[in-house]
Structure 1
Amino acid sequence: MTAGRPTIYFIRHGETDWNVEGRLQGQRDIPLNDVGRVQAEEAGRRLQALVPRAEDLDYVASPMLRTRETMERMRAAMGLYPDYYRLDERLIELTFGAWEGLTWKEVRQREPQLAALRERDKWNYVPPGGESYAMLAERVRPILDDLTRDTALVAHGGVARAFLAVACGVSTRHAASIDIWQGKILVIQGRSHRWA
């Protein structure tokens, strides 16, 4: 643990078939595919190499199926009990509302004006019946204050973008578009971040 805030080892869930198809998952409960299962195990090996006493970390996941399976496969790959971790509802992915299940191409075809509005301001745009990154950031901000020790956290791409803006001061414009890799670990220490 560094001075101040505990270190976060952020793991995005492994790949799903909807990731491959480019579909907006949001809060739809889509399971990992075979590649995603391998990525989850790779993340466990990466974490173990990165943190010598990884068993001492706190482990927290979004309650969605793809994040729970990632956490359990990751922990099993590290030789830890798969189901010894906490769930935090605040870590659930942002919802794309009426757009969930669609690809961006389909959104642009069906609602070109709304898609263009989102492109102009991805951080603040709220899809029909959905949630903006700004709203998500307010939902996850208290989690940072609740962490009492270094933590391995399994959640979603949108949540990682919110954390980068809130915890690291990444500009909201950049945070909304940054790639969040599956199978790798985003290490957030204080105001800095790096991929491992």
Structure 2
Amino acid sequence: MTPPRPTIYFIRHGETDWNLEGRLQGQKDIPLNDVGRVQAEEAGRKLRDLAPHVEDLAYIASPMTRTRETMEILRRTLGLHPESYKLDERLVELTFGSWEGMTWKEVRKAEPSLAALREQDKWHYAPPGGGESYAMLVNRIRPFLDGLTRDTVVVAHGGVARAFLAIACGVNHRQAASLDIWQGRVLMIEGRSYRWV
């Protein structure tokens, strides 16, 4: 019998100016804005309420600027050394290829037929110019999840959270691809269930 997976406290990075403008960030390295920094503090406070022994948790982040900033503010809020955490390349956001930096409105105007294909099947569609689909992202994320050995705080991205929910909780692909992934909150994944705090 497979041992239960450790509890995951997933935190999406705080807001960036591109989030505010509705731009596809993907793997473009955009820093947090002032709202995003406040959201990182909020997530830290919520985590303290959820996990009384925050010093015993593992802390792993995507190596992008917005996730590292979020992790360091969160750890400072918890009274922990801000830079004592690990980075994992597998946690980077999926790439939107040549669409990165565009809004969905701009994508629909520039490439209506391709935008329609993605709307029909968000999970399996890979944008042009080397983009990734959620299905491809799952293949990258699964080994990370399988390798967790203790309760872990993960700071990463919206697409990564959707992949986590599909793998760990069995959320169906259509639903997972469209779920809202909130900033400034904690997505707690325990066994096959999840909840937002």
TM-score range, shorter chain: over 0.9
Query: 1:84 and 1:41 mapped to 2: Cα distance?
Result: 17
Q: Distance in 1 between matches of 2:97 and 2:164?
A: 21
* Number of the residue aligned with 1:131: 132
Q: How does 1:51-70 map to 2 (within 5 A)?
A: 51-70=51-70
CA RMSD of aligned residues (A): 0.6
Report the counterpart of residue 71 of structure 2 in structure 1. Answer: 71
Residue deviations 1:110-133 (CA, integer Å, cap 9, x gap): 000000000000000010020000
Q: How many angstroms apart in 1 are the aligned matches of 2:93 and 2:10? A: 14
The one-letter amino acid of 1:144's match is L
TM-score using structure 2 length = 0.98
* Structure 2 Cα separation of the partners of residues 32 and 140 of structure 1: 24
Encode CA deviations 1:20-59: one digit per residue, 9 max, x unaligned: 0000000000000000000001101100111000110000
Match status 1:118 vs 2:123: no
Asked if residue 140 in structure 1 is aligned to residue 141 in structure 2, the reply is yes
Match of 1:164 in 2: 165
Q: Secondary structure at the match of 1:134?
A: helix
- Partner of residue 180, structure 1: 181
TM-superposition CA deviations, 1:132-178 (whole Å, max 9, x none):
00000110001111101000000000000000001100000000000
Q: Percent identity?
A: 75
Residue in 1 aligned with 2:154? 153
DSSP 3-state at the match of 2:108: helix
Q: Which 4+ residue blocks in structure 1 deviate beyond 3 angstroms?
A: none
Which residue identity does 2:185 align to in structure 1?
K
Q: What's the CA shift for 1:65?
A: 0.2
Distance 1:55 1:47 in 2: 11
Paired AA for residue 118 in structure 1 = R
Count of residues in correspondence between the two structures: 194
**2:178 alignment partner, SS class:** coil
Matching residue of 2:8: 8
Whichever residue aligns with residue 37 of structure 2, its letter is R
Partner of 2:25: 25
Shift of 1:185: 0.3
Runs of at least 5 residues in structure 1 that lack an aligned partner in the other structure: none
For 1:88 and 1:191, the matched residues in 2 are separated by 23
Name the aligned partner's letter for residue 136 of structure 2. M
Residue type at the aligned position of 1:72: E
Q: With the length of structure 1 as denominator, give the TM-score of the two structures.
A: 0.98
Give the match for residue 194 of structure 1.
195
Unaligned runs of 5+ in 2: none
